[in-house]
Structure 1
Amino acid sequence: MRVLVLDDAEMNNLLMVEALRPIADCRSHDFTRPADALGFAEAHAQDLGAILTDYDMPGMNGVAFIRAIRAMPALLHVPIVMVTSIEERRLRREALEAGATDFLNKPFDPIEIRARVANLLALSRALRQERAHAEILEREVAAAVATVEAREREIITLLMRAAEHRDTDTGNHIARVANYVALTAAALGFSVEECRQISLASTMHDVGKIAVPDSILLKPGPLTGAERDEMERHAERGQRILETSSSPIVRLAAEIAGTHHERWDGSGYPNGIGGETIPLSGRIVAVADVFDALTTARPYKQAWSPQEARAYLLDKSGSHFDPGVVAAFLSRWADIAAQLNSVSEAA
């Protein structure tokens, strides 16, 4: 490992380098100018094991030099020894506050300084090994988490493929809704990870429809009262299917499945709750789900224009929808319009 020696007196540097020579696996580099020493330290941060610096130097004293070293993240834990003939308590306190590790008095004892530096180099090696081990563990944990998340996404995808067999448009619908949900969540201040989670969870919002008979789910005309009641049961059925999972994302999906048909004014289903009693996840998916339903053609209706669907959201803001969620959704209108254009071009 390298040891940096800084003293404006060349003779002191020669004596110090000579004292350190017997230390195994140690290479000393001496400087008389703090600026040169700083440049060397930054360039060799990976194998710099210790720094020894004088205090009284022209241009930059030892305390200022220590502060400059500690300002470099890669050198934050490198041991620094101040070697000085000044015996002031104030100076020692100032140097410690700046980041000094140890002190030695001039004139120094070569045997003592050799022993101290050897101990500091051993400490540096141990710290580097510990950091390297921590980095390995961090990579292993990240890989394990990525594997779990990939399996979770795979399971969710398989589950939704099962739902797609019941409704030819389900796959496209859930992808569009997931994109709208991610845009809205980001506008509401969700973190990148939170946006990912709610977007993925939203893909399961209609999983309860797998229990709805084809005669109702695929009916081209209006539903009867009894058929409407049966269709509306998909919300609570979806929640029941998902809520026993130990996965945070699937539990979030259960919350969404059970609440995305609730309304801000309390007139929705299945529980008739309203306002902020409805989980925010359900309020977000409600806007995304209805907007996509309006702007896509179904067997029983024509697709609305984006402007008509936008006007509908504004008209129902405060009754059907959370006004804050509507505002967040519409604040990303450029992105939403771009998605609608790409869908129409693909069609």
Structure 2
Amino acid sequence: MVLVLGAQPETQPLLQAALQATCELQLGPDVEAGLTVARSGTPPALLLLDAAAPGLDAPALCQRLQADAVLRELPAIVLGAPHLGGGGAGGEHAPDCDAGAAAVAALQQGAADHVARPCSPALLQARVMACLRSRQAGERARAESQRLRDELTQRTAQLTAIQDVTTLVMASMAETRGSETSNHIRRTQYYVKALGWRLCTHPKFAATLTPTTIELLFRSAALHDIGKAGIPDRILLKPGKLSPEEFEIMKTHTTLGRDALTNAKRALGVEVDYLHHAREIAYSHHEKWDGSGYPEGLAGDAIPISGRLMALADVYDALISRRLHKEAMSHEQAIAIIRQTRGRHFDPDVVDAFLAIEDHFKAIAIAYADSPDDLRKKEDYLGIARV
């Protein structure tokens, strides 16, 4: 539909000859009433502004159209005012010397085209049809662009899902060989995420802990112990305390995890933020705030933030979880130990964040608690592995 704003009687023969056979015409002699029609129901495909209408300021009307969120989407063609002496009865029209300036002004204010009078019906029809084809081409391009965006979103979601599944499979394989259950992975992931969101407004952490980074930490935290896959069973599955020599070997799981993830990054040949954080967590989550941790003995802010978050999440879960060689501590006992090691084992700010959301930690532990069947399966596996 082509809606003519300010349609004058003397213009109607030209409009009918030019457009009646190819377009549905709707005449709107009153501009304001025509604009109301354009905003409601099914919008027209094109607006035609009849500059012959008394008082119609085409450039100003084009400016109004561009300022309107609905109307700016509709292409507008200005049909110029008739030359002096060439129009219909009674109105005064702009002199010839002003016609070009009026056309430029209308185009500058957003008109899609300007058709000067006098013009033939064939010319007006050609200009209108060209404008409609241009709009249709734009709509097709926008639809295709949206389709591609939707497809990209879908494929990105699929790749993320594949990445997450692969991560959980790898992490579960590593955890299966140790004393932890697979739920340890999920719990520590959610602990890290909870700490990240608590600290994201802290002046020291705000620049690093963006929503994107927190999500990457959540996903990559699952690989914190991936290096345990390289620790011998005689050490990894030992029910009692490790000897000093055995503990030195156990500590290498941090380096083994880092190296495995570094090799994965090198094989991909591109920088992947997810692998960067996973490598950082695997290597640094046993560092301690006072420098007494491993593998490098880093202290304070030299420890990556990701490693500091993972350190507390990992220790809390180890304390509250039942293992085959130990009983679980209560949530309150775990809080007391973490509070006592604030500034020694853990970043004080991370401990403060934990204490502020300790109920959230407790809820996560309950939601992903190990069942008796989980522990029985773990006991059966370790019994077979020791044979």
TM-score with structure 1 setting the length: 0.81
Q: 1:63 to 1:223 in 2, by over 3 A?
A: farther
Match among 39, 47, 51 for residue 51 of structure 1: 47
1:149 maps to 160
* TM superposition shift of 1:331: 4.2
2:5 and 2:50 in contact (8 A); partners too: yes
2:311 maps to 286
Q: 1:142 to 1:342 in 2, by over 3 A?
A: closer
1:109-258 alignment runs, 5 A limit: 110-189=121-200, 190-245=209-264, 246=268, 247-258=272-283
* TM superposition shift of 1:161: 2.9
Q: 1:96 to 1:239 in 2, by over 3 A?
A: same
1:55 and 1:82 in contact (8 A); partners too: yes
What is the percentage of aligned positions where both structures have the same residue?
A: 32
2:187 and 2:368 in contact (8 A); partners too: no
SS at match of 2:345: coil
Name the aligned partner's letter for residue 249 of structure 2.
E
* TM superposition shift of 1:69: 4.3
Match among 26, 29, 43 for residue 26 of structure 2: 29
* TM superposition shift of 1:172: 1.1
Q: 1:81 to 1:342 in 2, by over 3 A?
A: same
More divergent stretch after superposition (235-244 vs 211-220): 211-220
TM-score with structure 2 setting the length: 0.74
More divergent stretch after superposition (278-287 vs 198-207): 278-287
Name the aligned partner's letter for residue 152 of structure 1.
Q
* TM superposition shift of 1:167: 2.5
2:74 maps to 78
Match among 317, 333, 339 for residue 342 of structure 2: 317
* TM superposition shift of 1:63: 6.0
SS at match of 1:133: helix
1:5 maps to 4
SS at match of 2:77: strand
For 1:60 and 1:274, locate their aligned partners in 2 and report how far apart those are by CA, in whole Å. 75
For structure 2, list consecutive stretches of 5 or more residues without a partner in the other structure: 82-93, 201-208, 373-387
The one-character-per-residue Cα deviations of 1:230-257 (angstroms, maximum 9, x if unpaired) are 2211111111111122354234212210
1:222 and 1:300 in contact (8 A); partners too: no
The one-character-per-residue Cα deviations of 1:250-305 (angstroms, maximum 9, x if unpaired) are 34212210111112332221111223332222222122112212222234444333
Q: 1:239 to 1:40 in 2, by over 3 A?
A: same
SS at match of 2:45: strand
For 1:224 and 1:346, locate their aligned partners in 2 and report how far apart those are by CA, in whole Å. 31
Match among 294, 305, 310 for residue 269 of structure 1: 294
Q: 1:279 to 1:82 in 2, by over 3 A?
A: farther
Name the aligned partner's letter for residue 136 of structure 1.
R
More divergent stretch after superposition (304-313 vs 250-259): 304-313
For 1:302 and 1:280, locate their aligned partners in 2 and report how far apart those are by CA, in whole Å. 30
**RMSD of equivalent CA atoms:** 3.5
SS at match of 1:30: strand
For 2:260 and 2:311, locate their aligned partners in 1 and report how far apart those are by CA, in whole Å. 20
More divergent stretch after superposition (290-299 vs 205-214): 290-299
Could you say which structure has the larger radius of gyration?
A: 2
* TM superposition shift of 1:99: 3.4
* TM superposition shift of 1:206: 0.4
The one-character-per-residue Cα deviations of 1:122-168 (angstroms, maximum 9, x if unpaired) are 21111112112222222332333233223222322321232232135
1:66 and 1:100 in contact (8 A); partners too: yes
1:49 and 1:120 in contact (8 A); partners too: no
1:49 and 1:79 in contact (8 A); partners too: yes
1:259 and 1:270 in contact (8 A); partners too: yes
For 2:309 and 2:54, locate their aligned partners in 1 and report how far apart those are by CA, in whole Å. 64
Name the aligned partner's letter for residue 218 of structure 2.
S
* TM superposition shift of 1:49: 3.2
More divergent stretch after superposition (263-272 vs 64-73): 64-73
1:286 and 1:321 in contact (8 A); partners too: yes
SS at match of 1:43: coil
Name the aligned partner's letter for residue 78 of structure 1.
L
For 2:60 and 2:355, locate their aligned partners in 1 and report how far apart those are by CA, in whole Å. 53
Q: Does 1:100 align with 2:98?
A: no
2:179 and 2:324 in contact (8 A); partners too: no
SS at match of 2:182: helix
The alignment covers a number of residue pairs equal to: 342
Q: 1:60 to 1:156 in 2, by over 3 A?
A: farther
* TM superposition shift of 1:75: 5.4
For 1:312 and 1:39, locate their aligned partners in 2 and report how far apart those are by CA, in whole Å. 71
Name the aligned partner's letter for residue 240 of structure 2.
G
For 2:197 and 2:56, locate their aligned partners in 1 and report how far apart those are by CA, in whole Å. 48
1:13 and 1:30 in contact (8 A); partners too: no
Match among 327, 330, 351 for residue 305 of structure 1: 330
2:206 maps to none
More divergent stretch after superposition (280-289 vs 303-312): 303-312
